[in-house]
Chains A and B, each alone.
Chain A
Amino acid sequence: MLTTIRVNGVDHDVDVDPRTSLLDLLREGLDLKGTKKGCDHGQCGACTVLVNGVRINACLSLAVMHDGDAVLTVEGLASGELLHPVQQAFLTEDAFQCGYCTPGQICSAVGLLAEVAAGQPSEATADLDGPVTLTDAEIRERMSGNICRCSAYPQILAAVRRAAGAAA
């Protein structure tokens, strides 16, 4: 099925089997291996990408659902040699061990910062009527869709906190 999809600013016309997940199109069709396949069932977050600026699990979406969409993967975050502030924060805080979940964690954190900037609440938001303050509890809750089996959570928390400061 013919589908046009923009990935990291580049348009791709692809002919895909309707069963192809967005994740498999990225990895196998477009050779963008940065986005990882963990559980393939939306439970681990390793496949997190941004579609039209919003973070989703690429494993639970069909490529053909994204005709005309703009997808941003971890490969599209840096500007040449200049890392995205979230990427730099993960390096500075040593927020990974094996690194397999890291692209998903980073894309998820990029989405998180946009959601907080837009004032979207989370389960950790005490006052649904008030502004959102990015406390550690907020970061933990908002990152709960990304599992880290090396359990680098304290450093991931610190990295998101650092990136949020850089973005503010």
Chain B
Amino acid sequence: MKPFAFERARDVDHALSLAAASPGARFLAGGTNLLDLMKLEIEQPPRLIDVGRLPLADIAETAAGGLRIGALATNTAVASDPKVRRRYPALARAILAGGSVQLRNKATVGGNLMQRTRCPYFMDAAKPCNKRLPGSGCSAMEGLSSTLALFGASEMCIAVSPSDMSVALAAFDAVAETVRADGSVQRRSVETLHRLPGEAPQVDTDLAPDELILAVELPPPPEGGQAWRKVRARASYTGALASVAVAGDRVALGAVAARPWRARAAESALADGASPAEAAAAELASAEGEDGRKALVRRLAADVIRQAREGVGS
């Protein structure tokens, strides 16, 4: 691990002013992804700003009938919260599918959103990777492709977001509230918080270096059923080959793009009276990748849409 300066933020303003004054600095909350990447020297921030003790962990109902989840609420706290379990079970399920208990006890909602891809070529510092080292090439294009993007990729990068939680948040139309050092507050859709790779895959999100996630807000849960399912190479504690979250008439796919992928074509088809299988096929029509992987996602999406309609998914 490269040397770095460590500072514990006294309050949000202190954290933001430190970030604004320190090019390359990173906020540290649970650290379960960032510290791992620093050990591998994939991340080499000159300064860590420990925000882990800021009072941003509340989970509270909003005036609009939704839920506001502080950015520092742990994954365990969110999945265990009675309001989440009762009204947003697909979110609780998605969080419980991620990592291990030890990781979820430490990992935060804000950190979950900011975690980086687990593309094996990004994680291997000996391999070319445009996300890790811009311009070095993409090893994944001709490599193992069982966990790579079907949607929204570019010639530069086909890595996917590893977050299970964000897939459910996208299905609930959640918004991330952020603040910058100049005091400006922004509300960004979780669905589009992450950029598609385009020509600059090294930039994961639109967040400015001094922009801190304060909370995630969910509108009231939509009418209709909810369901969540994750397919992976072993029964527990590994990343998704694919996942699907359904909330009412909204469908989001996970581990198929650099962001949680709202399946708009499937949603439109469902609105026009298509069956779950027809809706899933409509979404996959624009997918690019291996036929086997596309078939897996198509079948999974159809199953989970059906489960949500039958009320057996969560």
Contact = CB atoms under 8 A, between A and B. Distances in A.
Interface in B280-314: 314
Contacts, number: 104
Q: For this complex, into which size category does the number of interface residues on chain A fall?
A: 35 or more
Q: For this complex, into which size category does the number of interface residues on chain B fall?
A: 35 or more
Interface stretch (A27-35, A75-83, A114-122): A114-122
Given A19-B1, A57-B32, A65-B28, A48 B102 contact: yes
Contacts of A87: none
Interface stretch (A6-14, A88-96, A139-147, A154-162): A139-147
Given A18-B5, A18-B6, A57 B101 contact: no
Interface string A28-67: 0000000000001110010010000011110011101101
Contacts of A145: 99-103, 237
A102 interface: no
Nearest to A147: B237
Interface string A119-135: 11111010011000000
Contact of A42 (B8, B48, B50, B103): B103
Given A60-B32, A112-B101, A142-B101, A128 B89 contact: yes
Contacts of B31: 60-62, 65
B261 to A, nearest CB: 22
A73 to B, nearest CB: 14
8 contacts: A21-B35, A42-B103, A57-B103, A61-B35, A65-B31, A122-B101, A129-B85, A142-B101
Interface of B: 1, 3-6, 8, 28, 31-32, 35-36, 39, 48, 50, 52, 76, 79-80, 85-86, 89, 92-93, 96-97, 99-103, 105-106, 235-237, 314
